[in-house]
Chains A and B, each alone.
Chain A
Amino acid sequence: MPTILDLHSHSEASEDSRAPVEAYLNWIKLRRQQLPLDGIVLTEHRQWNGGADYRALEDKYGIMVLKAAEVETDYGHVLVFGVNDDITARFDFANVRLPAQELIDEVARMGGLAVPCHPGRPNVGLVEHYERKPALENVVAVERLNGGSRKGENERSAELIARFGYKATGGSDSHLVSLIGLCATRFEAAIRSIDDLVRELKGGHYEPVDFRPRRPEVRRAEPVEASSHRG
């Protein structure tokens, strides 16, 4: 049975988000037709929010809540799935210059998976770093669709994936309630736990899915000198 998960989201536990987890779940429940998600993965910035317990909310809304982390490395931002005590003892998630190659290798050895996110984004994405440094080894998957991307960023991510043969994920990167689930990942297999997720990310079949509504074309404004829309 397929599973659709938003693999990249931030709750109020991240310093730049005010979105309560319950508001995310209520939003998905109210918009089930547009957002057919089975769950979300909370990837708080530079921390492992291991103590947070969302089981009561999962039961209340019938939506899975898994936990991961988004960390910062010398190759940009990376999502870490399957965080455990060994990984948090080995890496200081608050360090904004974590060594990406070590992170990828060690997290895999300790049972998790590190997935570079928004690789097409300037400064914090893999594409720009690959222009100056050797490509990372042992990368399994990268984020192909990111809901917070600017024009051209997701396209650059797709080119990177095509060039290196990485698997591709999707996530909203939501910091606002109303943006949750707009990009996600569809797995062929059933996923019920973070262990299932890590297993499928490593060896399963999956693809990014896009639930962003089509927006009408906005007419570009004329330069003010030629415009009749003066304020």
Chain B
Amino acid sequence: MSDIVAIDRFENVQIGAAIGPEPMFLSKEQSRRYARACGLDAPRFTDDEGARKEGLPGMIIPGNMSLGLLTKLVTDWIGQSGARIVRIGTTYRVLVQPDHTISLQGFVTHTYPEERACEIDLWIENEDGERMVTGTATVQFPK
């Protein structure tokens, strides 16, 4: 269940508004299920020992899962407004490992009133406040 407060219409979008933070515990089992559902059944995503054999510190979550989590942060914020994500992109800076509490966060950074669109910064933080995955999204609201 998300605690994100949804936006209702473009006129209420404000530059500087925070989306989140949304803390969540990411389990190994969630990571395995996601990887298998996506056909990414590689040891690095499903098994600590297998991941270590690949030189990793342990299981990591698939990059697409990070992208999916950040996308869900935005769609939770969009709510029932009828807006849609027209672009989203991420940069992977630090390996995201399951069995940790992560925090999803965003900020509205820019608006385009003529297009009824806005730009959002996004990131996933670990317990130390390190931004492991960063990104931006463009959201467009209905006319």
Contacts and interface: CB of A to CB of B under 8 A. Distances in A.
Interface of A: 16, 18-20, 23, 26-27, 30-31, 148, 150-151, 175-179, 215, 218-221, 223-224, 227, 229-231
Contact of B119 (A16, A23, A148, A179): A23
Interface string B20-36: 00010111111001000
A177 B27 contact: no
Contacts of A18: 89, 119, 136
B130 A221 contact: no
A45 to B, nearest CB: 13
B100 A177 contact: no
B59 to A, nearest CB: 10
Contacts of B63: none
A178 B109 CA distance: 7
Contact of A150 (B25, B91, B94): B94
Contacts of B81: none
A178 B23 CA distance: 19
A20 B60 CA distance: 32
Given A30-B15, A176-B134, A221-B127, 16 more contacts: A20-B110, A23-B110, A27-B16, A175-B134, A176-B109, A177-B107, A178-B121, A215-B129, A218-B101, A218-B103, A219-B127, A220-B101, A220-B127, A221-B99, A227-B25, A227-B27
B49 to A, nearest CB: 15
A49 B30 CA distance: 45
A67 to B, nearest CB: 22
Given A221-B99, A223-B99, A27 B26 contact: no
Contact of A26 (B33, B110, B129): B110
B109, B119, B121, B127: most-surrounded residue (chain A CB, <10 A):
B109
A110 B131 CA distance: 38
Nearest to A152: B128
Interface residues of B, number: 31
A23, A27, A177, A220: most-surrounded residue (chain B CB, <10 A):
A177
B29 A231 contact: yes
Does more than half of chain B's interface fall in helix, strand or loop, or is it mixed?
A: strand
Interface of B: 15-16, 23, 25-30, 33, 89, 91, 94, 98-101, 103, 107, 109-110, 119, 121, 123, 127-131, 134, 136
A100 B60 CA distance: 36
Contacts of B89: 18
3 smallest beta-carbon distances between A and B, as pairs: A231-B30, A177-B109, A229-B25
25 contacts: A18-B89, A19-B109, A26-B15, A27-B15, A150-B130, A151-B130, A176-B136, A177-B119, A177-B121, A178-B121, A179-B121, A218-B23, A218-B101, A219-B127, A220-B100, A220-B127, A221-B100, A224-B98, A227-B27, A227-B99, A229-B27, A231-B25, A231-B26, A231-B27, A231-B29
A230 B123 CA distance: 23
B29 to A, nearest CB: 6
A172 to B, nearest CB: 12
A227 B30 CA distance: 13
Contacts of A215: 129
A197 B33 CA distance: 54
Contacts of B103: 218
B70 to A, nearest CB: 13
Contacts of A177: 107, 109-110, 119, 121
